[in-house]
């Protein structure tokens, strides 16, 4: 049975914004290795559209960025959307019955499936489907934006803390 994990970079005040803080080289390597080991990823529409950046090589990329892109392209993706009509390579559109689709993935696959996007994660939290939450805290205060938890924070139990790179602390929680 696969494990469903929601993890993202966020500010100290709980907001996610990929444009406001970038991973240092150690954290970037961590994310590349993480993606390489995944069974797949479930995306909400907005996060998927942001991540489509990695579908095509860019001439300004360094070796590390090419390596991440290659790992990301190889992993299957399931995109939850009622507005998209098609998705890119190695992706499957999930338009109906989110709960049934995710339960099927969890039952059918083995390994780790990540959830990307706070609103999608909230829907899956409400359905009791997320097995683990990973908060990658950056020493930045944004003062507003899109919160990591899109709704009420679920009851959680801290299971691991670790430092990644120079400034990031990863907090790993499971539902309490």
**136 close to 30: Cβ distance less than 8 angstroms:** no
What tens digit of pLDDT does each residue of 10-20 get? 999 999 998 88
Residues 6 or more apart whose CB falls under 8 angstroms from that of 24 comprise 165, 166, 167, 168
- pTM score, whole prediction: 0.95
pLDDT of residue 23: 87
pLDDT of residue 166: 87
Q: What is the CATH number of the domain that holds 115?
A: 3.40.430.10
Transcribe 47-111 into DSSP letters: HHHHHGGGGS--TT--HHHHHHHHHHHHS-EEEE-SS-S---TTEEEE-S-HHHHHHHHHHH--E
The rounded mean pLDDT for the chain is: 96
Q: How many helices (H) and strands (E) does the chain have?
A: 5, 10
pLDDT of residue 19: 84
**164 close to 171: Cβ distance less than 8 angstroms:** no
DSSP letter assigned to residue 12: T
Structural domains of the chain, count:
1
> With 90 as the cut, is the pLDDT of residue 43 above it?
yes
- Mean pLDDT lowest among 14-23, 53-62, 71-80, 87-96: 14-23
- In which domain, by residue range, is 23 found? 2-175
Q: How many other CB atoms are there within 10 angstroms of residue 114's CB atom? A: 23
């Amino acid at each position: 049975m696969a494990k469903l994990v929601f993890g993202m970079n966020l500010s100290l005040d709980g907001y996610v914004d990929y444009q406001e803080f970038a991973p240092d080289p150690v954290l970037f390597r961590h994310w590349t290795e993480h993606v390489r080991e995944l069974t797949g990823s479930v995306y909400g529409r907005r996060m998927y559209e942001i991540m489509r950046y990695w579908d095509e090589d860019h001439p300004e990329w360094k070796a590390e960025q090419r390596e991440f892109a290659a790992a990301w392209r190889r992993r299957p993706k399931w995109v939850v959307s009622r507005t998209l009509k098609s998705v890119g390579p190695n992706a499957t559109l999930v338009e109906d019955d989110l709960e049934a689709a995710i339960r099927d993935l969890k039952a059918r696959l083995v390994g780790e499936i990540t959830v990307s996007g706070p609103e999608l994660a909230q829907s899956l939290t409400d359905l009791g489907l997320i097995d683990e939450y990973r908060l990658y805290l950056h020493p930045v205060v944004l003062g507003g934006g899109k919160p990591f938890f899109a709704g009420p924070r679920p009851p959680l139990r801290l299971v691991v803390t670790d430092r990644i790179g120079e400034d990031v602390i990863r907090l790993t929680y499971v539902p309490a």
